[in-house]
Structure 1
Amino acid sequence: MKPRSSLQIQKSVIFALVLREARSRFGDRRMGAVWLLLEPICHLLIFSLLFGMLRGRTVSGVEYPVFILVGMAPFLLYRNTALRLMDSLRENRSLFGYKQIKPLDTYVARVLVETCIATTVYAIIVFGFAWYGFDMSVHSPLQWVATLGLGLLFAFGLGMLLALVTHALPSLKIVIRMAFFPLYFISGVLIPASYLPPAMMPVLLLNPFLHILELIRAEVLPHYIPVDGVSVTYVISFTMVLLFLSLGAYRARRMHLISTKNG
């Protein structure tokens, strides 16, 4: 039997981890699959009704449900990816007894599963919106896909860093989860960034999520203009630094991650 290369072994490991992760996410629990679709729909309905009562049915020239979906879907993907990576060490602890499986493999598998789930849910909702008559076309599809990919790289780096931090300090997990709640509002998920307080904008623009969502909306909605200060260069630079730090810290502590029970 021909021996396999290290790359072939890693591909097989990641594929097996993807299957395991998908099965653990769904398994025999139908409500788990249903909730993946219900969560964004509930967000859309609640905030569409509230915004409609307060400011009307449109924002930036498009129907508000379309506006919020364009920003909410990627934010939920990035949030879920970061938090799932944060919990990966604890939930896959038993697998690290096999020398072929490394923590990085579980990170990659979780990113792939989260992306597939989010893509499927988004496609279902977009089909429903189009069926009801909403315009769901994308103004600049290539740039949109590139920005989505950049945001996913950012979430991957963030998730790895959170996993390393919470491995050393497990009590921080609840604080990190709570921190995503204000991020939901100050990242422009529900309203255009131009509606946020101008005096706070220099501070708010430090948030990469705000840049990513503004860029995504500008690439999907033909008449949407991002707030001054939004820059793809900032997101790329932030992501590269984050990946450098997280991968470097992972390499330095990879044996410690496997040998201890924290996280």
Structure 2
Amino acid sequence: MTDRVRTPLEVTLAVWRAMFLREALDRLFEARAAWLWLLVEPVVYIAIHAFGYQTFHIHEVGGMEISMWILGGFVGFLLWRRTWLQVLHALDSNRAFFVYRQVKPFDAAFIRGALELFLMIPIAILIILFTVAMGRTITPDTLNPVLFPVNPLLVIVSLLGLWLFGFGFGLITSVAMKFVPELDHIYKMLYVPLYYVSGTLLPIAVVPEPYRDLLLFNPVVHGIELVRLGFLPTYHTDPGVSLAYLYGWALGFVLIGLALYRRFAKKLVMK
């Protein structure tokens, strides 16, 4: 009696499962309390910037309480940025596994991106619960201490769009960095400016024309503003914010990234 030959789908799922477990263990337990720092970073960031805004007597933005405004923006931005960076460095981090013919470059990129989405879900929930425990609300004049999305579907779809855009952007930039390794230095210099041009710290509604239209070219702006709008339907944002625009860029980048991974499959596994 011979062993049953596994189908390509079964092989792919087995590879994904093994790589997911390995990546999860590395992210959560590679260093002392590594899992804790995944949560501490956004909490400290939100607290510092909320304190900074309130120091200048800015207690709300667009009708939304300042802590909630920063929380909605940073969770969305962090999901996009972390997904991009994890996919960007997926090839180098998993190069030793490419000696196995079952493991493809896309497997490493997809698992890293999927793990980031998996980790950000509990992180976002814990941050919201922490904000509730601190007595924060969506609007500064409400007595209701409950802090949950009024339109949860819009929040979920917007965050998924940001993740998808980060995944596609990571695919494209990882291929580009394979041919021009020096691009990694440019990517690192973009970290801080991206906070401001993505609407994480700067309200889009207060940016004068024509600069506002320039910022709205960035799909991340649309995703972050839609997350806030999902929490508070009366939030004052730009009418040009569009979910279709976000997903158009996200799906386009994913398709281009997939085409590049297929075109340069042999190049991507080489040192």
**Which TM-score tier does this pair reach, normalised by the shorter chain?**
over 0.9
Of 41, 48, 51 in structure 1, the residue corresponding to residue 50 of structure 2 is: 48
1-side partners of 2:188 and 2:58: how far apart? 32
Where do 1:195-234 residues align within 5 Å? 195-234=206-245
Equivalent position SS for 1:30: coil
Alpha carbons 2:63, 2:236 under 8 Å: kept: no
Alpha carbons 2:67, 2:136 under 8 Å: kept: no
Where do 1:1-263 residues align within 5 Å? 1-135=3-137, 136-258=147-269, 260-261=270-271
* Per-residue deviation, 1:252: 0.3
What amino acid sits opposite 2:63 in the alignment? G
2-side partners of 1:50 and 1:15: how far apart? 43
Alpha carbons 1:138, 1:219 under 8 Å: kept: yes
* Per-residue deviation, 1:202: 1.9
What amino acid sits opposite 1:36 in the alignment? L
Does 217-226 or 3-12 show the bigger shift?
Answer: 217-226
Equivalent position SS for 1:170: coil
Does 68-77 or 122-131 show the bigger shift?
Answer: 122-131
2-side partners of 1:202 and 1:191: how far apart? 14
What amino acid sits opposite 1:101 in the alignment? V
1-side partners of 2:29 and 2:248: how far apart? 39
* Per-residue deviation, 1:150: 1.6
Aligned length: 260
Equivalent position SS for 1:189: coil
Does 117-126 or 162-171 show the bigger shift?
Answer: 117-126
Does 72-81 or 229-238 show the bigger shift?
Answer: 229-238
* Per-residue deviation, 1:172: 0.6
1-side partners of 2:10 and 2:47: how far apart? 45
What amino acid sits opposite 1:194 in the alignment? A
* Per-residue deviation, 1:110: 0.7
2-side partners of 1:233 and 1:29: how far apart? 40
2-side partners of 1:112 and 1:237: how far apart? 20
Alpha carbons 1:68, 1:191 under 8 Å: kept: no
Superposed structure 1 runs of 4+ greater than 6 Å apart = none
With structure 2 as the length reference, what TM-score do the two structures score?
0.91
**Unmatched segments (≥5 aa) in structure 2:** 138-146
Alpha carbons 2:62, 2:237 under 8 Å: kept: no
* Per-residue deviation, 1:40: 0.5
* Per-residue deviation, 1:167: 0.6
1-side partners of 2:202 and 2:211: how far apart? 15
Equivalent position SS for 2:33: helix
Does 10-19 or 32-41 show the bigger shift?
Answer: 32-41
* Per-residue deviation, 1:28: 4.9
* Per-residue deviation, 1:96: 0.1
With structure 1 as the length reference, what TM-score do the two structures score?
0.94
Give deviations 1:161-200, integer Å, cap 9, x for gaps.
Answer: 0110101111111211221311111211123211223331
* Per-residue deviation, 1:55: 3.8
Alpha carbons 1:154, 1:239 under 8 Å: kept: yes
**Unmatched segments (≥5 aa) in structure 1:** none
Does 146-155 or 189-198 show the bigger shift?
Answer: 189-198
Give deviations 1:189-223, integer Å, cap 9, x for gaps.
Answer: 12321122333112111111111111111112232
Alpha carbons 1:85, 1:107 under 8 Å: kept: yes
Identity of aligned residues (%): 31
RMSD: 1.5
Q: Which has the higher helix share?
A: 1
